[in-house]
């Protein structure tokens, strides 16, 4: 392997060409059957390298140069991976974005990134094409589309099958520095318009060594499957470069995840390492309770991130499937995990300890190191930290200080060194001068047999004092709320928490508002009347 700090490094060489040289016929991608591919969506490492070379040559033929941005709007697929590494191979910058985004989102991505080229699946293309006007886009390659007259009439548009060169000679990777920009990843945009975190070629190597190998100890015989999609930082590692870093295989699922379909997919393809987010683990448990047959016997390890995994969900998943779920936390800016539990040492309600190669510290409101169990702001440091926010240097300056990154998360650390997530800084609730963690209250609520999901936020009462308010999704079969359920939940919480932490209001809703990554959008709940 190349060294993260070495002068020359290209991720296409490191994660595609190296495993192709070492074991060319080893299966790299094992996807669900696809009608549009004769290979069933599968590829060996040698076959994947050939696809990467074809995309690299195709982009060069269009005039793509080192430093050019290539917008990638594709579902999880061989085309996504070939496009990502094909761009990187010629020194261009891959910019994967949410393929389920709306027209105004695409308009933002196009104008902010300044991309000259885009590779887009036909479905998001229909939503994106009206946003192209006024952008720097010169060529759009459309994947998965039959040749149609209306597509032929669209300016700048090429069909993937017609654009992609036939298999040819090996393409030599552009001689990039380890510190050269390799790809952009857009943040979730919960605090305003999403911004692009710029990551360098070395960053994937750092996270692979720290988490994939240092924590998970991935093996060449592993098969990974990530419910989270490749266009998210979490999914990009789980489903693409982590398995490639050790010559393992990955499973790709192009469709929107549904618990019943994911359960069927896992039973059919039998992954050994399963990645998801807390809300989806809870959804799988609900589906199992409703009679859906699930076979997780192939899974030796499960991983959760995105938000802290509630202790109740951790315990229920372990009791039902016999699988320990490793909870951790990372960010787009740090590329992947910086805190994580270890196999055999996971603790319900804890995000674990720092990942190898990372440091963490909790600072109180005075900027001093917080005492044990004192709530404070989490700062992290590690060599995978983003280089900058594209077009927003002033925002990066706010969160990067002397090699440390401010996560905007509230944490505590116990005497044994385990970190506990309390919530986003904006989500913490101060009641009677004391901090209340939404996670603590939510976990207590989730232990009630009637509660499927919940979220707790702070809202001012009639005289302007902030109080906790709970939004609750009931389990299937519980029936309509009423009959004293509010009072029952209130008593339940008061038997488990001190009084000032207990909500005085309970609102029963059909579903919680969530981002595309599965995070609960508590700010929307705070706005509800």
pLDDT recorded at residue 36: 56
Cβ atoms within 10 Å of 25's Cβ, excluding its own: 9
257-424 domain in CATH 3.50.40.10? no
Whole-angstrom Cα distance, residue 378 to residue 382? 14
pLDDT recorded at residue 148: 56
The reported pTM is: 0.85
Place of tokens 């060594």: 209
pLDDT recorded at residue 65: 98
94 touches 182 (CB < 8 A): yes
**Beta strands 42-44 and 69-73, pairing class:** unpaired
CATH number of the domain located at residue range(s) 11-203 in this protein: 3.40.50.980
**Residue 285 φ/ψ, nearest 5 degrees:** -65, -40
Place of tokens 């470069």: 241
Same fold, 257-424 and 429-526: no
Cβ atoms within 10 Å of 285's Cβ, excluding its own: 21
Whole-angstrom Cα distance, residue 38 to residue 319? 41
We find that the CATH architecture of domain 429-526 is 2-Layer Sandwich (3.30)
Task: Going from the first residue of the chain to its last (529 residues), give the mean pLDDT of each consecutive group of 10, the final group possibly shorter.
Answer: 71 97 96 59 93 96 97 96 98 95 90 97 90 92 72 74 86 96 85 84 98 98 96 96 98 93 95 94 91 95 90 93 96 97 94 98 92 94 98 94 94 95 82 80 92 91 81 83 82 90 92 83 83
133 touches 103 (CB < 8 A): no
363 touches 379 (CB < 8 A): yes
240 touches 81 (CB < 8 A): yes
Across-strand partners of 413? 419
pLDDT recorded at residue 463: 65
Place of tokens 């440390």: 404
pLDDT recorded at residue 149: 42
pLDDT recorded at residue 519: 80
Burial class (CB in 10 A: 0-12, 13-18, 19+), 459: middle
- Report the candidate in 158, 137, 159, 136 with the shortest Cα–Cα distance to residue 146: 159
Q: Where are the domains of the chain?
A: 11-203, 257-424, 429-526
Across-strand partners of 252? 31
């Amino acid at each position: 392997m190349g060294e993260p700090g070495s002068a020359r490094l290209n991720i296409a060489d490191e994660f595609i060409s190296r495993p192709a040289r070492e074991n060319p016929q080893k299966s790299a991608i094992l996807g669900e059957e696809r009608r549009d591919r004769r290979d069933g969506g599968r590829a060996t490492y040698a076959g994947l390298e050939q696809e990467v070379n074809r995309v690299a040559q195709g982009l060069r033929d269009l005039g793509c140069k080192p430093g050019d941005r290539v917008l990638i709007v594709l579902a999880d697929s061989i085309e996504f991976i070939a496009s990502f590494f094909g761009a990187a191979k010629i020194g261009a910058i891959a910019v994967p974005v949410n393929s389920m985004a709306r027209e105004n989102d695409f308009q933002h991505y196009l104008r902010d990134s300044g991309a000259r080229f885009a590779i887009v699946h036909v479905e998001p293309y229909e939503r994106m094409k009206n946003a192209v006007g006024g952008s720097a886009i010169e060529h759009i390659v459309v994947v998965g589309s039959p040749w149609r007259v209306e597509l032929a009439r669209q300016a700048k548009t090429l069909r993937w099958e017609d654009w992609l060169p036939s298999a040819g000679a090996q393409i030599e990777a552009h001689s990039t520095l380890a510190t050269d920009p390799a790809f952009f990843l857009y943040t979730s945009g919960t605090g305003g318009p999403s911004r692009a975190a710029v990551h360098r070629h070395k960053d994937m190597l750092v996270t692979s060594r720290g988490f994939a190998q240092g924590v998970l100890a991935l093996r060449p015989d592993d098969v990974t499957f990530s419910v989270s999609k490749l266009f998210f930082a979490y999914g990009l590692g789980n489903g693409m470069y982590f398995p490639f870093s050790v010559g393992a295989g990955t499973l790709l699922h192009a469709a929107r995840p549904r618990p019943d379909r994911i359960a069927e997919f896992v039973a059919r393809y039998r992954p050994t390492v399963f990645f998801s987010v807390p809300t989806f683990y809870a959804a799988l448990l609900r589906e199992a309770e409703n009679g859906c047959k699930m076979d997780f016997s192939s899974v030796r390890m499960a991983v959760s991130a995105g938000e802290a995994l509630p202790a109740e969900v951790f315990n229920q998943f372990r009791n039902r499937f016999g699988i320990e779920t490793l909870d951790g936390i990372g960010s787009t800016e740090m590329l992947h995990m910086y805190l994580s539990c270890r196999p055999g040492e996971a603790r319900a309600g804890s995000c674990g300890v720092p990942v190898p190669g990372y440091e963490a510290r909790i600072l109180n409101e005075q900027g001093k190191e917080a005492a044990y169990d004192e709530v404070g702001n989490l700062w992290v440091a590690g060599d995978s930290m983003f280089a900058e926010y594209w077009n927003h240097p002033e925002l990066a300056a706010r969160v990067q200080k002397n090699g440390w990154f401010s996560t905007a998360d509230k944490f505590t650390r116990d005497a044994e060194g385990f970190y506990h997530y309390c919530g986003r800084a904006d989500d913490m609730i101060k009641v009677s001068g004391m901090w209340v963690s939404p996670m603590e209250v939510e976990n207590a609520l989730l232990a009630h047999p009637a509660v499927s999901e919940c979220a707790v936020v702070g809202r001012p009462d009639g005289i302007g004092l902030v109080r906790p308010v709970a939004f609750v999704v009931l389990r299937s079969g519980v029936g309509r709320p009423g009959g004293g359920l509010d009072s029952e939940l209130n008593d339940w919480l008061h038997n488990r928490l001190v009084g000032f932490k207990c909500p005085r209001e309970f609102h029963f809703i059909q579903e919680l508002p969530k981002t595309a990554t599965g995070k609960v959008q508590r700010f929307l709940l705070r706005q509800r009347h």
